[in-house]
Amino acid sequence: SVTYNTLIDGYLRLDNVDKALDIVSLMTQRSVRPDVVTCNILVDALCNRGLLDSAKKLLLEGLEEHNAGNLITSTILIDGCIKHGDMLQALDHWNGISTKGISVDQVVYNVLIKGFCLVSDMKSAHSYLCEMFKKGILPDIVTYNTLISGLLRIGNIREACHMHTKMSLAGLVPDHISYKLIIRGLCLQGDILKAAEHLNKMLSVGIVPEPPVWNLLINGYARCGDISGAYAVKELMLAMGALPNIFTYNALVHAHVKGGELADALLLKQEMLANGIPPDVVTYNMLIHGACKSGNSQYVQYLVRDMLCKGYHCDLITFTELMRCFTLRGKCEEADVLFSKMQKSGLTFDHVPFQLIIKSYCKKGKLAEAYQVYRLMHEMGFVGR
RNA sequence: CAAUCGUUUCUUGUAAACC
């Protein structure tokens, strides 16, 4: 049955459901009894496809055939509930296990802790961690990474860094995920110095960063307007054999737009074309931002035309940027025209355009118009103050 | 005796306001 299970799991991972089911029937034809593992594989596949109810049904049938589930079955179900956004039901299953006195492992705990993290209940997450220790179940890297991710999600970088060191103290070696999480948190926070420290630590223990990590760091420097810092990371990245992609280039463009000259950003645009990585909407949005910042509205127009020529479409941010160009120069009416255009375009909306228009009307003393937009914002379901 | 099943990464980028 091990062979059959391996095949079934393999096909399901490739999303080849028919083939997988073929193997199941082949199994029964040759009177090989599907076992718990078979059951787990199927239940997991159903949960991953959002078919929680079918999974439970399958389990009930399985139980009738004396296939009692094991801890892994329960873990899969609990995780399925969590993915479904139903933490209460997940806890129901968990209580079922605990009351039966089944011995548990760190993986179920990891799943539960993840569940609490996803609903930002870090207090419960932490008390489950304590419970692990009490039961003599040692947390592993996944436990710590889950907690770090949860803490970062609620913006608690301090505690996340704490966890990171705590993990080392517990004798666990932070892996590439631990580093990626912490570097991401620090970069988004604007603490590029600490992020760079972690990069060095990561390199010193021989972990090779994935391209996204390099790009995170370059963007970290870009946010601070530190162009040379950004380029230093890019050079290091190249030296370590990673190739720049569109994200890398955009991060560098970001750095120039934020802390340097538009001209340099435009040079980069040429370099992108030469290297076969054409600028995308995000690149154009940033360039538009730069042109607008330097007061070059002619060039803003040119960029928009250039972008449309290349077959790209304006997205929400393009429109917002263009509106911002108008409002910065006090042209409320033009901004408002663009605003209506945007509404007709069927793009998904955001609160930012409303804020721009309202602020711009207010500055001009046109309170009636501002109020009208404010009301519209409410009608469309954007809560404002 | 061993081998098959479960958990961590919004995988990386651009705009607003507050200040």
Q: What is the pTM of this model?
A: 0.89
Looking at chain A, the whole-number percentage of residues with pLDDT higher than 90 is 70
- pLDDT value for A65: 60
Give the whole-angstrom CA distance, residue A72 versus residue A104: 9
- pLDDT value for A67: 60
- pLDDT value for A385: 47
CA distance to A35, A151, A231, A245, per residue, from A219 (Å): 50, 22, 10, 13
The residue whose two tokens read 């127009």 is A301
CA of A107 to C1' of B6 (A): 7
CA of A146 to C1' of B7 (A): 9
- pLDDT value for A380: 80
Which nucleotide is closest to A247, CA to C1'? Answer: B13
> Which tokens belong to A197?
């420290």
CA of A68 to C1' of B13 (A): 49
Is residue A179 within 8 A of residue A213, CB to CB? The reply is yes
Instruction: Check whether A255 has a pLDDT greater than 70.
Output: yes
Give the whole-angstrom CA distance, residue A335 versus residue A145: 45
Model confidence at A140, pLDDT cuts 50, 70, 90, reads very high
DSSP result, A3-60: HHHHHHHHHHHTT-HHHHHHHHHHHHHTTPPP-HHHHHHHHHHHHHTT-HHHHHHHHH
Model confidence at A330, pLDDT cuts 50, 70, 90, reads confident
Instruction: Kindly report, residue by residue over A82-97, the tens digit of the pLDDT.
Output: 999 999 999 999 999 9
Is residue A106 within 8 A of residue A143, CB to CB? The reply is yes
The residue whose two tokens read 């199927």 is A42
- Give ipTM to 2 decimals: 0.84
B chain positions with any atom within 7 Å of a protein CB:
3-17
Mean pLDDT, rounded, for A149-175:
94
Which nucleotide is closest to A2, CA to C1'? Answer: B4
The region of weakest confidence among A32-36, A51-55, A201-205, A350-354 is A51-55
Instruction: Kindly report, residue by residue over A296-324, the tens digit of the pLDDT.
Output: 889 999 999 999 999 999 999 999 999 99
Model confidence at A290, pLDDT cuts 50, 70, 90, reads very high
The region of weakest confidence among A11-25, A193-207, A213-227 is A11-25
Model confidence at A124, pLDDT cuts 50, 70, 90, reads very high
> Which tokens belong to A28?
């029964």
**A184 in contact with nucleic chain B (CB within 7 A):** yes
User: Phi first, then psi: what are they for A187, rounded to 5°?
Assistant: -65, -45
Mean confidence (pLDDT) of chain A? 91
Instruction: Check whether A348 has a pLDDT greater than 90.
Output: no
